[in-house]
Amino acid sequence: MAIDRSTVESVAHLARLSISEDEVRQTTEQITAIMGLIDEMQAVDTNGIDPLAHPLDAVQRLRADEVTESNQREKLQNNAPATEDGLFLVPKVIE
Amino acid sequence: MPNTSVYEKSLAELSRSLKAGEVSSVELTQSYLDRINTFDNDLNAFITVCPDLALEQAKAADERIVAGQATPLTGIPLAHKDIFCTEGIKTSCGSKMLDNFIAPYESTVTANFKAAGTVNLGKLNMDEFAMGGSNENSFYGPVKNPWNRDMIPGGSSGGSATAVAARLAAAATGTDTGGSIRQPASMCGITGLKPTYGRVSRWGMIAFASSLDQAGPMARSAEDAAMMLNIMAGFDPKDSTCMDRAVPDYTATLNEPLKGLRIGLPKEYFAEGLDSRVEQVVRDAIAEYKKLGATVKEISLPQTHHCVAAYYVIAPAEASANLSRFDGVRFGHRCEDPTDLEDLYKRSRGEGFGSEVKNRIMVGAYALSAGYYDAYYAKAQKLRRMIRDDFLKAFEDVDVIMGPTAPTPAFPIGSKADDPVAMYLGDIFTISTNLAGLPGMSVPAGMVDGLPVGLQIIAPHFEEARLLNVGHQFQLVTDWHQQKPEAI
């Protein structure tokens, strides 16, 4: 699978990553090399094999629908880059 | 003050000395802090040192010992990989993204250590978000290998391995998604154990690849690792993948004789790419096991060659989802003057993540994107089943599997930095156990050019006690685990 510059740019957009002009060339080269390594697995015949999601075939545990967490808004917002009146601030989304 | 030999004591010996009043936890803690001051400017094993907190915890531990309420590890100075959230202490995960992050809560693993009365000396350096095998991908700079400071310590738990090998902490915690405990343990000459997936809670451990991540001990011997795992293992309702299963006393079975132990050697682990001197170290270790009464047979793990490919789809795919939470809104790095929300996301993430993390997020996003899911993610998950089933079949005939931990000893800092594929191929012997969810351990087994080499031991699910027993018996008849770097 050849990865070109436009593929890198579109995947970077999907992942919401800015990639600088300087980075694009090296990133394209490295991702092409990584995809080359990954494509080796296409040689394996996996017909009739089910995907394995959990190595011990465990399933998600359910818990009782009870409140277990207390409100720690202030403590958690101490790490926020910008807040006001207990809300997280971001640039205006709707005009 | 404690004399130098105190740093050579095992955790069991330190525990006895503390209880006998031969040394106090405050003295011991201060002396480790002094060592960190002396050696760590150069080694760079710590991201954050916590002298005030450590001495406060040491004082409390001394009181607890006097009151007769000590656990086996009360008062022992440890350090934790900077991937575990520690309340009120910076928790960076080796990333600029979290350089300003003060964890608002405590991970289950570190909470268990706190409850046991251990002392936290600080937080250890690592590859950013645990992505790497050399500790060169840290925002805080590379960690040096104490055996040869031009060399990498391995990764991603490189700070943990260097701290333990250089006697900057009595033992440490690490995490292992594709070898990140075992490979640095091998390269720094210490003992490191990755438990079965679900044996140790992942709660509060910053997620890389959630179906593969597992925390474990990094220590100077199997006995020390057993004492650490006794604290770490156990059910936690806060981690939905943590297994509700009884935890044995891992020290209780260390002395079981190995007569009749059936060892399997996968022929694929002794193939092309393995340094012949590393192979010799492993073969010599196997010969020791034969003397202890073990039998050896060749086995096959046919999909070994494809583990790397499957892993480098599954781990990046999970990482791309896990790391989407770092968006510059609720915590972590935010770019200056964002023009709109998309600009805020893109530049905060572009500036906050290093290049290896960005590569992996993009590989993961690509593998999961429309039109490619079946060819990559679903294909890799099918291979994952084949890989796991290879192991289950092998364990019908053998009790443990042995081989090299890493194909080479530590390599020079910078030598593979721009070649991710060469770096990834170094994980070939460790990642299969993560894909299969199996416990694996590396124990020091020899030296090549003055650098340590580890023997990897793999056991069936939940057989950590067997691994520790097999490692301990080897350490009773060899002294590789007691070797220490010069000038330390």
Q: Which ipTM was obtained for this model?
A: 0.95
In a domain, B383, yes or no: no
Q: How far is B483 from chain A (nearest CA, A)?
A: 36
Whether A9 has a pLDDT exceeding 60, the answer reads: yes
In a domain, B169, yes or no: yes
Please report the pLDDT score of residue B2 as a whole number.
54
| Contact (CB<8Å) A46/B363 | no
Please report the pLDDT score of residue A95 as a whole number.
73
Which alpha helices (DSSP H) does B236-395 contain, by range? 276-291, 304-322, 341-352, 355-368, 379-394
Task: Name the closest residue on chain B to residue A59, using Cα atoms.
Answer: B241
Q: Does the beta carbon of A71 lie under 8 angstroms from any beta carbon of chain B?
A: no
Please report the pLDDT score of residue B188 as a whole number.
98
Q: How far is B286 from chain A (nearest CA, A)?
A: 28
Q: Tell me, what CATH number does B55's domain have?
A: 3.90.1300.10
In a domain, B320, yes or no: no
Grade residue A1 by pLDDT with cuts at 50, 70 and 90: low
Query: E strands along B211-283, which residues?
Result: 214-219, 262-266
Is B182 in contact with B431 (CB distance < 8 Å)? Answer: no
Helix B51-66 to helix B11-20 angle, to the nearest 10 degrees? 60
> Which residue in the set B334, B350, B382 is minimally distant from A81, CB to CB?
B334
- Which positions 24-43 of A are in contact with B (Cβ < 8 Å)? 26-27, 30-31, 33-42
Output the six-digit token pair for B10. Answer: 């095992």
Closest by Cα among B397, B398, B389 to B436? B389
Grade residue A3 by pLDDT with cuts at 50, 70 and 90: confident
Average pLDDT for residues A20-35, to the nearest whole number?
Answer: 92
- Tens of pLDDT along chain B (488 residues) come to 456 688 999 999 999 999 999 999 999 999 999 999 999 999 999 999 999 999 999 999 999 999 999 999 999 999 999 999 999 999 999 999 999 999 999 999 999 999 999 999 999 999 999 999 999 999 999 999 999 999 999 999 999 999 999 999 999 999 999 999 999 999 999 999 999 999 999 999 999 999 999 999 999 999 999 999 999 999 999 999 999 999 999 999 999 999 999 999 999 999 878 999 999 999 999 999 999 999 999 999 999 999 999 999 999 999 999 999 999 999 999 999 999 999 999 999 999 999 999 999 999 999 999 889 999 999 999 999 999 999 999 999 999 999 999 999 999 999 998 889 989 999 999 999 999 999 999 999 999 999 999 999 999 999 999 999 999 999 999 999 999 998 78
Domain count for chain B: 1
**Phi, then psi, of B156 in degrees rounded to 5:** -85, -15
Is the previous residue joined to B10 through a cis bond, with omega within 30 degrees of 0?
no
Cα–Cα dist B25/B17, whole Å: 10
Residues of B in contact with A23 (CB under 8 A): 355, 358
- Owner of token pair 């790397």: B308
Grade residue A71 by pLDDT with cuts at 50, 70 and 90: very high
Verify whether residue B156 is a known catalytic residue. Answer: yes
Residues of B in contact with A34 (CB under 8 A): 312, 359, 363, 420-421, 424
| Contact (CB<8Å) A37/B424 | yes
Which range of residues forms the domain containing residue B222? 4-260
A59 against B433, higher pLDDT: B433
Residues in chain B: 488
Dihedral in degrees, nearest 10, Cα atoms B210, B214, B215, B219? -150
Cα angle B27-B28-B29, degrees, rounded to a multiple of 5: 95
> Which residue in the set A18, A39, A56 is minimally distant from B346, CB to CB?
A18
Please report the pLDDT score of residue B4 as a whole number.
60
In a domain, B456, yes or no: no
Is B449 in contact with B391 (CB distance < 8 Å)? Answer: no
In a domain, B470, yes or no: no
SS3 B448: strand
Residues of A in contact with B101 (CB under 8 A): 79
Please report the pLDDT score of residue B272 as a whole number.
77
Q: Does the beta carbon of A70 lie under 8 angstroms from any beta carbon of chain B?
A: no
Which site among B312, B363, B432 would you substitute to test the A interface, given the most A Cβ atoms closer than 10 Å to its Cβ? B363
In a domain, B333, yes or no: no
| Contact (CB<8Å) A41/B197 | no
> Which residue in the set B237, B338, B436 is minimally distant from A91, CB to CB?
B338
**Phi, then psi, of B199 in degrees rounded to 5:** -80, -35
Cα–Cα dist A12/A66, whole Å: 40
The identity of residue B333, as a single letter, is H
Domains of chain A: 5-43 (1.10.20)
Is B307 in contact with B431 (CB distance < 8 Å)? Answer: yes
Cα–Cα dist B172/B149, whole Å: 20
> Which residue in the set B211, B365, B420 is minimally distant from A15, CB to CB?
B365
Q: Choosing from B180, B186, B348, B432, which is the catalytic residue?
A: B180
First to last CA, chain A: 42
Whether A2 has a pLDDT exceeding 80, the answer reads: no
Residues of B in contact with A7 (CB under 8 A): 366
Read off the pTM.
Answer: 0.97
Cα–Cα dist B40/B8, whole Å: 18
**Partners of residue B295 on adjacent β-strands:** B262
Give the distance, in angstroms, between the CA of residue B53 and the centroid of all CA atoms in the same chain. 24
